[in-house]
Amino acid sequence: MAVHPLADRAATLRSKTLTFLRAPVSREFWAYLMNEGHSFTMPAVWSALPGAQRVESMVAAEGKRVADGTTFAMAEPLAQAARAVGEDRSISLPFTPDVVPAPAGMLVTEEPLMHINSHPVIAVTWGPAMDGFAAGVHLTWWTAMPEEAQEPDAAARGRLVPMNPDFDLHLPFLPLFDARLHTGELPSGLIYSTVPLRTVVGAWYALTAGSTTLSEQRPQATTTQALKEQKAKRRGVQVATTSGADAARRDITERAAQKMLEMSQQYDMFDPQPEVAATPVKVSHGVYDASLDHQLDAGQRRIAHIYREAVDHWHRLEMQAIQRYPGVFEDLEALRVREHGRWQPWCWVPSIRVAAWLMEMYDAPADRAAWDGARIAALGAWRSGGRHSVLTTLPLQATAIDHVPADLPETMPAPGLGLVIDDSGTVHLQLACLDDSSGGESPVDAELLLVSNYGEPARMIDDLTKITLFLTGETLLDAVKITQAYYDAAAVQNGEQPPHADAAAYAEHAYAVGLFAGLLSAICAPGAELQDAGALTGRKLPAAWPPEPGLLSETTLWLLVDTPALHTQA
């Protein structure tokens, strides 16, 4: 069989890329990019890993995509069609599994697929969604590495960098959609990657179009042998050709229009609400950036460390939630605006409504939706309220209560608050909100909902402890018993046998809840004294308490320094 030049070029680039990804230089390269501020898409749990392990995971994942995938080589007329569709934002490009030409792959074009800031995009790689993400693909597009940027004798020394990862992202399948693929206004953070992403998806549409011919072609025998030694699968190359660019473009647009029509008939689409700051890809430490710690005294350095631990933890939770359920917070914000009259105004979105939304829109199993629903409700309430969190400088026993904090619906200054408890060097992080539990057999409307990491900063949504308390009865012990009885009855209805709790267990639980509920009550009490911790560094102007819902994605940390209750006790 004759060697196909385009197939040979694609296979050669694939082999060089595998050599690069399996060499130490790739780890150095990824670490350098990350240190320079390049953000990579990864499972939220990876962000808690040491830097070297994080880099190792990312490089290994990319290596598997290249080794396991199918190689495609696209003739120029198809690339022209993809470019035209990518640049025409009046064309929506619904993304469904049948658009992707293979579960994993590498695409190389006859000419650069596109240029980004004059840099030619010479390859696209993709593979299945990474752990923790919704159904879809992980996508990377690569620009050519300039010859002058290579080290001397790079190829001979095993340090050749064949191409540069320009951008990567998780692209979900419908019914979830990426705004870059649809008409309408875009957030500024998506503008840079819009045309490149649309061009890639346009190329995938072209590869799976009825007017496109795919034929397997072979590279040179030496290239095939190299891929075999690298244990690469599917060593042939699928070369894509068409009768002309106009026909290919017409095929793409007609197919996309039909998909868009079917989608609009099947799904209720709405624009996300803009009043809440989006979750940033990379968390910011603001005035508490570690590089500035040397300017702080010992006490402030401790606060800076606590701040970073807290915001990193909660950012990972936000990232895990939106990876598992893309767009969930924006969608629920929109739901809250549309249906706010259906529940109490002090509740962001009832956790049971969140769980139903996860089942309806994301096809989450009932058990998964019930678990995630309460935790996403707490995260959403805290996020919607401006990501305000309070670090107590007081011992928990100083604010402990044994009565039901029934006034919280009137006194909480935000839908959700973060509680940061510095306990003998261990930092406990909790999110507190009020859940509207009205309806059904619930004995009361208001339920205090706490989700806690119990001093383990690496915990994720699957590991968070949930604490609930109906705000009813006179003593906490009464409220704990009423709450437990309700959930025991629900367990029995589900065919489960709840564990028996004796008087000592009830008392112990009531005491623990009293510590946390007492702290929250002290924070929310009229006349409580709180200071903007960041302002004490002299690096920002102080915010005023009670807090306002914020448009910034950064967490504001407050210090609880005094409460009216303590003055009364004194």
Q: Is the pLDDT of residue 271 over 70?
A: no
Cα–Cα separations (whole angstroms), residue 315 to 45, 282, 293? 11, 8, 21
What is the reported pLDDT for 267? 58
**pLDDT, mean of residues 50-75:** 96
Ranking 125-129, 135-139, 438-442 by mean pLDDT, the lowest is 438-442
Contact 443, 430 (CB under 8 A): no
Q: Is the pLDDT of residue 563 over 90?
A: no
**pLDDT, mean of residues 418-437:** 93
Same domain, 298 and 344: yes
Same domain, 231 and 339: no
Same domain, 301 and 390: yes
Contact 416, 348 (CB under 8 A): yes
Contact 350, 437 (CB under 8 A): yes
Q: Between residues 201 and 546, which one has the greater pLDDT?
A: 201
Q: Give 430's strand partners.
A: 419, 452
Give me the chain's average pLDDT, please. 90
Same domain, 484 and 393: yes
Q: Is the pLDDT of residue 570 over 50?
A: no
Query: Which range, 37-51, 143-157, 220-234, 329-343, has the best average confidence (pLDDT)?
Result: 220-234
Pairing of strands 446-452, 465-470: antiparallel
What is the reported pLDDT for 5? 93
Q: How confident is the model at residue 490 (pLDDT cuts 50, 70, 90)?
A: confident
The neighbour count for residue 171, using CB atoms within 10 Å, is: 26
Among residues 533, 521, 528, 511, the alpha carbon closest in space to that of 567 is found at 528
* % of the chain surpassing 70 pLDDT: 96
Q: What is the pLDDT of residues 387-418, one digit of tens each?
A: 999 998 788 888 899 999 999 999 999 999 99
> What is the number of helices (H) and of strands (E) in the chain?
16, 15
| CA–CA separation, 155 and 266 (whole Å) | 53
What is the reported pLDDT for 178? 87
Same domain, 240 and 317: no
Residue 110 is given by DSSP the state S
Same domain, 257 and 330: no
Q: How confident is the model at residue 525 (pLDDT cuts 50, 70, 90)?
A: very high
Element (H, E) at 70: strand 70-74
E-only strand ranges, 186-336: 213-217, 237-241
What is the reported pLDDT for 566? 53
In the three-class reduction of DSSP (H, G, I as helix; E, B as strand; rest coil), residue 429 is classed as strand
What is the reported pLDDT for 183? 76
What the block records as the tokens of 293 is: 């710690």
Same domain, 252 and 372: no
What is the reported pLDDT for 272? 43
Q: Is the pLDDT of residue 550 over 80?
A: no
The answer to whether residue 78 is domain-embedded is yes
The answer to whether residue 273 is domain-embedded is no
Same domain, 293 and 208: no
Q: Between residues 30 and 49, which one has the greater pLDDT?
A: 30
Same domain, 454 and 329: yes
Rg of the Cα atoms in the chain? 27
Q: Backbone dihedral region of 37: left (phi > 0), alpha (psi from -120 to 50 degrees) or beta?
A: left
Same domain, 258 and 321: no
Residue 158 is given by DSSP the state T
Torsion of CA 504, 508, 510, 511, to 10 degrees: 140
Same domain, 123 and 239: yes
**pLDDT, mean of residues 327-342:** 87
The answer to whether residue 405 is domain-embedded is yes
Q: Between residues 370 and 491, which one has the greater pLDDT?
A: 370
19 Cβ contact partners less than 8 Å away, ≥ 6 residues apart = 158, 160, 230
511 Cβ contact partners less than 8 Å away, ≥ 6 residues apart = 400
Pairing of strands 136-144, 163-172: antiparallel
Q: What is the pLDDT of residues 198-228, one digit of tens each?
A: 999 999 999 999 899 999 999 999 999 999 9
Domain that holds residue 184: 5-266
The answer to whether residue 22 is domain-embedded is yes
Q: How confident is the model at residue 270 (pLDDT cuts 50, 70, 90)?
A: very low
What is the reported pLDDT for 275? 59
What is the reported pLDDT for 175? 79
Same domain, 394 and 528: yes
**pLDDT, mean of residues 178-200:** 87
What is the reported pLDDT for 441? 73
The answer to whether residue 276 is domain-embedded is no
The answer to whether residue 281 is domain-embedded is no
Angle at the Cα of 345 from the Cα atoms of 486 and 482, rounded to 5 degrees: 15
**pLDDT, mean of residues 418-447:** 89
Domain count, the chain: 2
The answer to whether residue 272 is domain-embedded is no
Ranking 172-181, 237-246, 284-293 by mean pLDDT, the lowest is 172-181
Q: What is the pLDDT of residues 71-113, one digit of tens each?
A: 999 999 999 999 999 999 989 999 999 999 999 999 999 999 9
Angle at the Cα of 122 from the Cα atoms of 32 and 85, rounded to 5 degrees: 120
What is the reported pLDDT for 423? 84
| CA–CA separation, 78 and 186 (whole Å) | 27
Q: Is the pLDDT of residue 39 over 90?
A: no
The answer to whether residue 403 is domain-embedded is yes
**pLDDT, mean of residues 246-272:** 78
